[in-house]
Structure 1
């Protein structure tokens, strides 16, 4: 059987509850998911999602709209009410996406997505990022991003924690909290309190510059 969201979930689990929680907490009508691979889970909760990946397996899966609709239906989602768009592209290049047009930018295990795709997020929009390749750590160091929640994952369940945020993103080694070093190493900072991911809000006064971190 060709690889699909169903097969991918066996290795990463189902992230649909995570996106349901985010969509319930903040306005999320449109999302952009660079480096998505086969993860269709945002479409379980968000009306319009644009997926971006260079992998041919992702292109085959998303190119089979009947398969995509069937897997959404299996998850209890009305596929007719969802806009699923796939771009077989490198997110570090310019994408055919309007600037300031999406409510949620997703950056999970895919590199410094927000460095290149911030332009597509509207002011006041949300960034979901983890520290795997440094994106959450870069956002934590720039004043245009405001931390609004930590995402915890345990026993297949996701929880958004909006309390005690001043205790989050505290580096174990302060010297590691350097944007240039994070980009050079390609990984995030180790923090005194860990989380699966973090949600940041792009401030209303922020511009659309690609680079979010100093240096």
Structure 2
């Protein structure tokens, strides 16, 4: 797991032996946990290998779907909410395919891939205003909402890339 945040307390949290001990005691796999905490801005160049991560989470963080997609491997998963507009941006990005929602009922979460066409529809049926989402860092208001949205990463070959092939 790699955790990136500008909060100066991040290093102390992940260096705390009690935190590591708790993670090790509660893991459900044989390998030792590997945790990297980077104090920094995810939109800057990070000391991470590109195309290697299986999953990205973006909750109340901004546009991780754009800044960090270079680290996500093909077929990887993005899970994000729409608080700062990341789900709106990912939905309009051809590199992502919308595959499911996470619904929340009190403290119970479920994942559904049913009726996905009912999401990302504005009341006035107009398209998502990307410029507005980017400027305000607020997701569009849709008629049907989920707790979070799940996308798979399938990068498109860009014209400039295909001309050099």
Task: Please tell me the TM-score bracket, short chain as reference.
Answer: 0.7 to 0.9
Q: C-alpha separation between the residues in 1 aligned to 2:22 and 2:109?
A: 21
How many residue pairs get aligned? The number is 157
- Aligned residue for 1:56, secondary structure, equals coil
SS in 2 for 1:83: coil
Could you tell me how far 1:136 is from its partner in structure 2? 0.3
Counterpart in the other structure of 1:182? 133
- 1:61, 1:174 → 2: CA distance? 45
TM-aligned CA distance change 1:176 to 1:183, over 3 Å = farther
For residues 81-138 of structure 1, give each alpha carbon's deviation from its aligned partner in whole angstroms, at most 9, with x where no partner exists.
3111111111110001111010111111101112211100011111111100000000
Aligned equivalent of 2:9 = 57
Matched, 1:77 2:27: yes
Specify which structure has the higher proportion of helix: 1
TM-score by structure 1 length? Answer: 0.67
Runs of 4+ with deviation above 3 angstroms: 173-176, 204-207
Mapping for residues 47-196 of structure 1, pairs under 5 Å: 49-64=1-16, 66-73=17-24, 76-77=26-27, 81-175=32-126, 177-196=128-147
**Aligned residues of 1:103 and 1:121 also touching (Cα < 8 A):** yes
For structure 2, the 5+ residue unaligned runs are 159-165
Structure 1 residues 206 and 63, CA gap change in structure 2 (3 angstroms): farther
- Contact 1:173-1:190 within 8 A present in 2 as well: no
Contact 2:98 2:150 in 1 (8 A): yes
Which deviates the most, 81-90 or 126-135? 81-90
Normalising by structure 2, we get a TM-score of 0.87
RMSD: 1.9
Alpha carbons 1:151, 1:159 under 8 Å: kept: yes
Report if aligned partners of 1:134, 1:182 keep a CA contact under 8 Å in 2: yes
Question: Which runs of 5 or more residues in structure 1 are unaligned?
Answer: 1-48, 208-215
